[in-house]
Amino acid sequence: MVVPGFIDCHTHFIQMGLDSLTIELSHSKTLDEALSLLKEGAKRVAESEWVIGTGWKESGWTGGRFITRADLDIACPKNPAVAHRVCGHLSSVNTRAISLLGLDVKTPDVDVDASGRLTGVLTESAVSIAREATRPDRAKKDKGLSLAIGKAHSLGVTSIHDNGDSSDFETYRRAEKAGRLGVRVWFNTPADALESRLKIPLDTGIGSEWLKAGGLKIFCDGALGARTAALSEPFSDDPKNKGMLVHDRKELDEIVADASNADIQLAIHAIGDRGIDVAIGSIKAALEKNPRKDHRHRIEHLELPSVQHLALMRKLGMVASMQPNFIGEWGGTDGMYVSRLGERRASRNNPFREVLQANVRLVFGSDCMPFSPLYGIHSAVNAPHPAQKISPTDAISAYTRDAAFASFEENSKGTISLGKHADFVVLSGDPFEKPKEIGSLRVLRTIVGGEVVFETSEERKQRRQASFSASLGA
């Protein structure tokens, strides 16, 4: 079965490659297992060097608590250590890291215990401080990108929409100039790049067939896992907490209006219903003052939209950029969503079907948690709740044809048609025939711009044999 190359509409692509160079904690089944991986990892680096762990999630662990400073002090006593939670919104650090980073009780977004001591758990802006201090150099980023490209090809991904930091653009440009980019990139810049984009001006869509300036990525709220998504009712497992908004409404309105007026697409991260309300409200206000015809403004994640939110998105012509793999990771009867939201809200969380019923353009991505379109498509097609479950055709469209729309590229990619880029994927079976088995399909071959960039060894053998027989025939 040949399908169009998958377009992952929400990635942190270079970061994903860099993460593979750090200590992978996502498969740890217990807290102890995660800590022993960090302990082993610490042995492989020099004493003053950072130990960096990524991808842990406590939701499957007994006790289900976050990694703390005390844990990391025992696992990595001689090194500064940071362990990033899978969501990217929460990280844990040890005592050496705390002093290196200069964190204290006055630093925003650090967790403090009853005795007034830092627990080592950081969220949002404090996570950025840790990331900044452990920032990779040029060569390491090039390496990260090339690892990410290899992974993309092996999973059938031929285009990505990225949400990296501004400096990632240079890494992409370097790869493009050297002719080794290999995936087509729609690069969303962070909100703090708005001023320079307005000055240049760098509108949405400027660039080449490989690398284009995308939208402006703005954070409206946090995430459910870290209990920072903005909800209208408190978290079910934290009754006093309704999450947080990153910007006050006036501030958000200004950024949104400035970008929208300058023909820059908006990609607003909004997860909780209260966050979504604010994000749509800001876009509505900007468009009422200064209507745009074909803006394709997007909400990223859109996990808890109400029916009214979806109707408004339809009316305003907005795009729903969602991650079906989240259901595979955190849905189900004992998943993180039920603990954070309770049964009622969890059954309407990530409501792909309702999005389609409201006639809102639905596009899929992975947020690299984990990165794999087939897993995402499987999760949407086999989702546990009726509000979530969609057909294989709709799920694949959201990862191909409709995904191309989200980057204004429906004329050059997303379907197999004459005149479009020759970006294809060969699958080991038919996803329409046995929807329950999509997750076990494999990518056999990936073709970008007519060139084979990935194939399994059996495929390679078969292709060689075929061309050998053809040459004998000639």
Which range, of 134-142, 306-314, 365-373, 458-466, touches Zn ion by CB under 5 A? 365-373
The answer, yes or no, to whether the previous bond of 324 is cis (omega within 30 of 0) is no
Residues 273-302 that bind Zn ion (CB under 5 A): none
394 is an interface residue for Zn ion by CB under 5 A: no
Compare residues 124 and 367 and give the one whose CB is closer to Zn ion: 367
By CB under 5 A, is residue 367 in contact with Zn ion? Answer: yes
Q: Residue 89 or residue 212: which is nearer to Zn ion going by CB? A: 89
- Rounded to the nearest whole angstrom, what is the least distance from the CB of residue 397 to Zn ion in the complex? 22
Output the 3-class SS for 313-344: HHHHCCEEEECCHHHHHHCCCCCHHHHHHHHH
Among the residue ranges 111-119, 231-239, 359-367, 413-421, the one whose residues contact Zn ion (CB under 5 A): 359-367
Give the count of residues interacting with Zn ion (CB under 5 A).
1
Nearer to Zn ion, 58 or 367 (CB): 367
Alpha-carbon radius of gyration of the chain: 22
46 CB neighbour count, 10 Å cutoff: 8
For Zn ion, give the closer residue by CB, 367 or 409: 367
Query: Least distance in Å: CB of 219 to Zn ion?
Result: 9
Site for Zn ion in 59-78 (CB under 5 A): none
* Cβ at position 151, least distance to Zn ion in Å: 17
Q: Which stretch binds Zn ion (CB under 5 A): 144-152, 166-174, 242-250, 367-375?
A: 367-375
Site string for Zn ion, 226-245 (x = CB under 5 A): --------------------
Q: What is the dihedral of CA 378, 384, 388, 393, to 10 degrees?
A: 30
Paired tokens of 371: 């990165």
Contact string (CB under 5 A) for Zn ion, positions 199-228, x = contact: ------------------------------
| Nearest C-alpha neighbor of 366 from the set 410, 300, 322 | 322
Compute the least distance from the CB of residue 248 to Zn ion, in Å: 22
The H-or-E segment that residue 90 falls in is: strand 90-93
Q: How far is the CB of 375 from Zn ion (least distance, A)?
A: 17
Q: Please, which residue, 367 or 402, has the CB nearer to Zn ion?
A: 367
Beta strands in 242-366 (DSSP E): 266-270, 298-301, 319-322, 361-364
Least distance CB 12 / Zn ion (angstroms):
6
Residue with nearest beta carbon to Zn ion: 367
Residue closer to Zn ion by CB (options 80, 365) is: 365
Listed residue (140, 132, 166, 153) closest to 21, CA to CA: 140
Give strand pairing partners of 216: 189, 266
At which residue do the structure tokens 């979530």 appear?
A: 388
Least CB distance to Zn ion at residue 318 (A):
18
Q: What is the dihedral of CA 53, 150, 414, 327, to 10 degrees?
A: -30
Pick 11 or 68: Cβ nearer Zn ion: 11
| CA atoms within 13 A of residue 258's CA, in its CB half-sphere | 19
Q: Which is nearer to Zn ion, 84 or 389 (CB)?
A: 84
Report the distance separating Cα 216 and Cα 246, nearest Å: 15
How far apart are alpha carbons 82 and 131 in whole angstroms? 9
Minimum distance from CB of 236 to Zn ion (Å)? 24
Least distance (Å) between residue 352 CB and Zn ion:
18
Residue 12 or 389 with smaller CB distance to Zn ion? 12
- C-alpha 468/C-alpha 474 separation (Å) is 10
The residues that touch Zn ion, with contacts defined as CB under 5 A, are 367
